[in-house]
């Protein structure tokens, strides 16, 4: 029987969160906040965000306060600006960047407790993953950006929960979202990619508010969306999938992470030959053999392995510079690395042979909660310094106002 995807997403809107999934969402909120603060500090979007001037109660990373919809737009965009936020590989999307932006904006406008905002972000993330699974790989492969499309439905669920919409109003909100959700992979490599995340967050906030105000939409809006957006309509069950989310601990394409994790304890400095085996999909995504820019370095197996061998911190955004990509020692080392596709591996796995010694890693093998917490806190400190500890204290004590203030101070 085909999944009634709209009914499934409505179920998430009122579900009691799984305790483990909630713990992961708290960590994802810290990760999201650190990425957003650092993304704002980079400054590339200052001119754009300055054009958005509506006044309201919702905090923005750029220091302004605006309506919930506009804050969701700005915060979703800025927190994805570095492309360093979490990824879920069930559907290949960045869940937290969209739903955290939407949930915080609506939650502040509703004067909701931070714990309620976290729960709303969690059910929204779960809804976005479920929607992405239902749409399937064909939707992604044809060129739609799941962070933006599935993410918009997740943002709608987050907002609907915080607004206390009835199931009928939530169904209307999802139907309205279906006629607005959008986002193309052709934007990758431009400022349009993070904008996709911001637009998805805003769409969810607007759809929920408009449904609350009485606007109607087709009851089967998601099915209409799937029919016109290469959705395969896969069977999807209710589940808590956020515990399998992958947080980025390296400031580069997620396709490189399993390889780098496999090599954490490998003897790279004196290695003569490194053979990387990866899922064939990544060969057209992050296998630039000879990058000469910092951006290109983020999509190169050979470069990141050379960086690791020479002690460069691949978790440091600043490490991916043009100078690093052109460093003669690293360029010479890259010749020792070969890369090949292996259909026996999943998109989450890598196998690396270093002078005959084998190293494997599977990103699906989730880190224990304590280990994940330690690494996310380390990453957050690298991005925003001591503020990371204050953000975590606010999250764990449920101090929404302090948390919001820390996003801009």
- Same-domain status, 258 and 199: no
Which three-class secondary structure state does DSSP give residue 231? Answer: coil
**How would you classify the pairing of strands 274-278 and 65-66?**
unpaired
pLDDT band for position 2 (cuts 50, 70, 90): low
Percent of the chain whose pLDDT exceeds 70: 99
- Same-domain status, 202 and 220: yes
- What integer is the mean pLDDT of 176-199? 94
| Measured CA distances, 360 to 136, 142, 244, 345 (Å) | 28, 31, 19, 10
CB–CB of 289/334 below 8 Å?
Answer: yes
- Same-domain status, 354 and 375: no
Which three-class secondary structure state does DSSP give residue 123? Answer: helix
Give the range of the structural domain holding residue 306, as residue numbers without chain letter: 254-362
- Same-domain status, 91 and 222: yes
- What integer is the mean pLDDT of 227-245? 93
Taking only the tens place, the pLDDT of each residue in 259-304 is 999 999 999 999 999 999 999 989 988 999 999 999 899 989 999 9
Q: Which two tokens stand for residue 91?
A: 């559907």
Taking only the tens place, the pLDDT of each residue in 352-397 is 999 999 999 998 767 899 999 999 999 999 999 999 999 999 999 9
Count of structural domains, the chain: 2
CB–CB of 391/33 below 8 Å?
Answer: yes
CB–CB of 192/89 below 8 Å?
Answer: no
- Rounded Cα distance between 83 and 318, Å, is 14
Taking only the tens place, the pLDDT of each residue in 140-170 is 989 999 999 999 999 999 999 999 999 999 9
* Chain centroid to CA 32: 8
Burial call 389-398: b when 16+ CB within 10 Å, e when fewer: ebbbebbeee
- Same-domain status, 299 and 346: yes
């Amino acid at each position: 029987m085909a999944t009634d995807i709209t009914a499934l997403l409505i179920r998430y809107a009122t579900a009691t969160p799984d305790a483990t999934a909630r713990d992961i969402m708290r960590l994802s909120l810290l990760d999201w906040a650190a990425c957003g603060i650092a993304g704002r500090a980079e400054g590339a979007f200052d001119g754009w965000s300055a054009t958005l001037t509506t006044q309201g109660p919702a905090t923005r990373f750029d220091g302004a306060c605006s309506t919930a919809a506009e804050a969701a737009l700005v915060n979703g965009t800025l927190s994805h600006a570095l492309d360093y936020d979490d990824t879920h590989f069930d559907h290949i999307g960045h869940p937290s960047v969209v739903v955290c932006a939407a949930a915080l904006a609506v939650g502040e406008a509703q004067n909701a407790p931070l714990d309620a905002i976290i729960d709303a972000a969690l059910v929204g993330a779960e809804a976005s993953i479920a929607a992405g699974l239902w749409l399937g790989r064909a939707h992604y492969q044809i060129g739609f950006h799941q962070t933006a499309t599935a993410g918009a439905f997740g943002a709608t669920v987050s907002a609907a929960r915080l607004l206390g919409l009835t199931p009928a109003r939530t169904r209307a909100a999802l139907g309205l979202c279906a006629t607005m959700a959008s986002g193309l992979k052709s934007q990758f490599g431009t400022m349009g990619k993070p904008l996709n995340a911001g637009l998805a967050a805003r769409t969810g906030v607007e759809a929920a508010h408009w449904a609350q105000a009485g606007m109607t939409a087709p009851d089967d809006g998601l099915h209409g969306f799937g029919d016109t957006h290469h959705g395969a309509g896969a069977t999807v069950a209710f589940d808590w999938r956020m515990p399998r989310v992958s947080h980025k601990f390296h400031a580069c394409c997620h396709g490189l992470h399993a390889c780098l994790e496999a090599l954490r304890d490998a003897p790279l400095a004196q290695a003569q030959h490194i053979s990387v085996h990866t899922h064939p999909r990544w060969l057209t995504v992050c296998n630039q053999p000879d990058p000469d820019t910092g951006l290109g370095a983020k999509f190169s197996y050979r470069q990141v392995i050379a960086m690791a061998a020479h002690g460069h911190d691949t978790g440091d955004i600043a490490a991916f510079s043009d100078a690093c990509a052109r460093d003669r020692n690293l360029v010479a080392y890259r010749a020792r690395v070969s890369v090949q596709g292996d259909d026996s591996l999943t998109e989450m796995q890598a196998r690396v042979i270093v002078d005959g010694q084998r190293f494997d890693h599977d990103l699906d093998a989730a880190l224990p909660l304590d280990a994940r917490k330690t690494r996310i806190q380390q990453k957050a400190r690298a991005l925003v310094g001591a503020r990371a500890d204050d953000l975590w204290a606010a999250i764990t004590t449920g101090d929404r106002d302090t948390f919001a203030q820390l996003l801009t101070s």
